[in-house]
């Protein structure tokens, strides 16, 4: 059994480079990259979501100090979709966090939703649990993340001034994402020394050995 999508992504950059990125380059690049990496073309809804997350994240990185410049950003990084069986891991191009931010000590999953998320509703709980699922898969199976702190953030691109914490997931409107990142990473986070090793990590089940972070 083969697992062709593990370690694949559609766009990689640093915070410093992303500050200077332009929509006119980012959008064609990620659309083409998706089409050559995965078996299906992106839907119109997916393309709109990329534009929304691009615009939102660019506003956030402008707020971050220059000490964040060397941190790695990954868009559409593939994760296992199922718990491992005796045959190994199953992966699918549908299990992809919107963005992953990497420093030496932290893995931060950022999931965007271009809608108003109302606490207590079924949709709110679904979105929070989805973000948590991505963090759990990295925590339990991604070997190169062993010993790193794992976080999940659900970002609403409509509204303002909201921040909460549900099911071990930070939930916020995008105007407060920068605040959460600096709370997690501090003033001077160190870049991940070898992003390639993290990206092309091996996978194993660390259920009993790496549950504290």
CA atoms within 13 A on the CB side of 100: 28
Q: What is the pLDDT of residue 212?
A: 43
Backbone angles phi, psi at 51, to 5 degrees: -65, -40
Q: What is the pLDDT of residue 133?
A: 93
The segments of the chain whose pLDDT lies below 70 read: 1-6, 81-94, 206-213
In whole angstroms, give the CA distance from residue 135 to residue 79: 10
Residue 210 falls inside a structural domain: no
What is the number of domains present in the chain? 1
Q: What is the pLDDT of residue 117?
A: 78
Q: What is the pLDDT of residue 205?
A: 79
Q: Residues 96-127: pLDDT tens digits?
A: 999 999 999 999 999 999 887 778 788 889 99
How crowded is residue 34: how many other Cβ atoms within 10 Å of its Cβ?
Answer: 22
Residue 98 falls inside a structural domain: yes
Q: What is the pLDDT of residue 81?
A: 66
pTM of the model: 0.90
CA atoms within 13 A on the CB side of 5: 21
Residue 129 falls inside a structural domain: yes
Q: Which residue matches tokens 């660019």?
A: 58
Residue 208 falls inside a structural domain: no
8 Å CB contact between 71 and 103:
yes
Q: What is the pLDDT of residue 4?
A: 45
The enclosing domain of 188 has a CATH number of 3.40.1350
Q: What is the pLDDT of residue 37?
A: 85
The residues, ordered by sequence, that sit 6+ positions from 186 with a Cβ below 8 Å of its Cβ are none
Q: What is the pLDDT of residue 40?
A: 84
Q: Which domain holds residue 78?
A: 11-199
Residue among 4, 201, 10, 5 at smallest CA distance from 107: 201
Residue 146 falls inside a structural domain: yes
Residue 3 falls inside a structural domain: no
In whole angstroms, give the CA distance from residue 144 to residue 204: 10
Residue 43 falls inside a structural domain: yes
Residue 4 falls inside a structural domain: no
In whole angstroms, give the CA distance from residue 13 to residue 75: 9
In whole angstroms, give the CA distance from residue 73 to residue 210: 24
């Amino acid at each position: 059994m083969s697992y062709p999508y593990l370690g694949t992504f559609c766009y990689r950059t640093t915070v410093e480079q992303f500050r200077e990125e332009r929509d006119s380059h980012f959008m064609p690049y990620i659309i083409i990259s998706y089409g050559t990496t995965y078996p299906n073309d992106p839907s119109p809804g997916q393309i709109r979501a990329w534009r929304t997350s691009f615009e939102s994240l660019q506003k956030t990185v402008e707020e971050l100090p220059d000490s964040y410049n060397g941190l790695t950003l990954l868009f559409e990084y593939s994760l296992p979709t199922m718990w491992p069986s005796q045959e190994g891991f199953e992966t699918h191009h549908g299990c992809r966090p919107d963005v992953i931010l990497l420093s030496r000590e932290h893995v931060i999953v950022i999931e965007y939703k271009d809608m108003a998320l109302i606490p207590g509703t079924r949709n709110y709980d679904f979105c929070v649990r989805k973000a948590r699922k991505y963090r759990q898969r990295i925590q339990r199976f991604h070997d190169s993340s062993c010993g790193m702190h794992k976080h999940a953030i659900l970002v609403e691109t409509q509204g303002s001034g909201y921040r909460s914490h549900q099911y071990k997931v930070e939930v916020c409107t995008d105007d407060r994402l920068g605040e959460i990142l600096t709370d997690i990473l501090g003033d001077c986070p160190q870049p991940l020394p070898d992003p390639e090793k993290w990206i092309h990590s091996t996978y194993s089940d660390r259920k009993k050995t790496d549950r504290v972070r």
